[in-house]
Structure 1
Amino acid sequence: MSQANLKTVKQKLKIPNRFDVILLNDDYTSMEFVVDVLRRFFHKEFQAAEAIMLKIHIDGEASCGTYSYDVAQTKVSQVIEYSRKNDQPLMAVLRELGI
């Protein structure tokens, strides 16, 4: 192909949106179970998991991590499925980060 046949294409790349996975406090899920979820699905060290669990307990919610939409949605689904299998009402939700 000659240079005359090539078109210059300018693409404007968009940074993908990021999402926080938020765990919500409830009156029934044990603190130990929340720590287990944080370690199992978010790969938190024990002390970090305890700190996040206490934030959830005190503030009513806390972020467990920031991910692309697909990864965040998968983690929410995993947490909810695992919670229900263990008869726990723990809820996880997505929250889009503003850029």
Structure 2
Amino acid sequence: MASTDSKTKTLISSKSRNQLPPMYKVILHNDDYTTMEFVVEILITVFGKSLEKATQIMLNVHNRGKAVCGIYPREIAETKVETVHNLASSKGFPLKSTMEKE
């Protein structure tokens, strides 16, 4: 009976994993106008990063052209992208944020 219980648990946990929503990477893209300070501010306020982690991600955006800021379910990722665009636009920056399926 114990083997049946462990098989049942395995099937349930496998099924649960398969039912998780697809996750999306939120990506910031480099441009020649948005300040590094603003990108760090976005990473702290929108993505909840520490100053150290935000600075590291900002430098990746600057040096590599883009960087992943976080991985979220679709609706949250869409909201993060929209929030970045709204905040950047309100400050006159063309900062681009996109999302792609993980």
Q: Into which bin does the TM-score normalised by the smaller protein fall?
A: 0.7 to 0.9
Report the count of equivalent residues.
86
Deviations 1:28-68 (A, max 9, x none): 10000000000010010000000000000011000000000
TM-score by length of 1: 0.84
Q: Which has the larger radius of gyration?
A: 1
**In 1, Cα distance between equivalents of 2:89 and 2:20:** 35
- Following TM superposition, where does structure 1 have runs of at least 4 consecutive aligned residues deviating by more than 2 angstroms? 12-15
**Percentage of identical aligned residues:** 41
Q: Which of the two has greater helix per residue?
A: 2
2:15 counterpart of 1:47? no
Which residues in structure 2 correspond to 1:21-60 (within 5 Å)?
Answer: 21-60=26-65
Unaligned runs of 5+ in 2: 1-14
Counterpart in the other structure of 1:20: 25
How high is the TM-score relative to the length of structure 2? Answer: 0.81
RMSD across aligned C-alpha pairs, in angstroms?
1.0
Query: What are the ranges of 5 or more consecutive residues in structure 1 without an aligned counterpart?
Result: 1-11
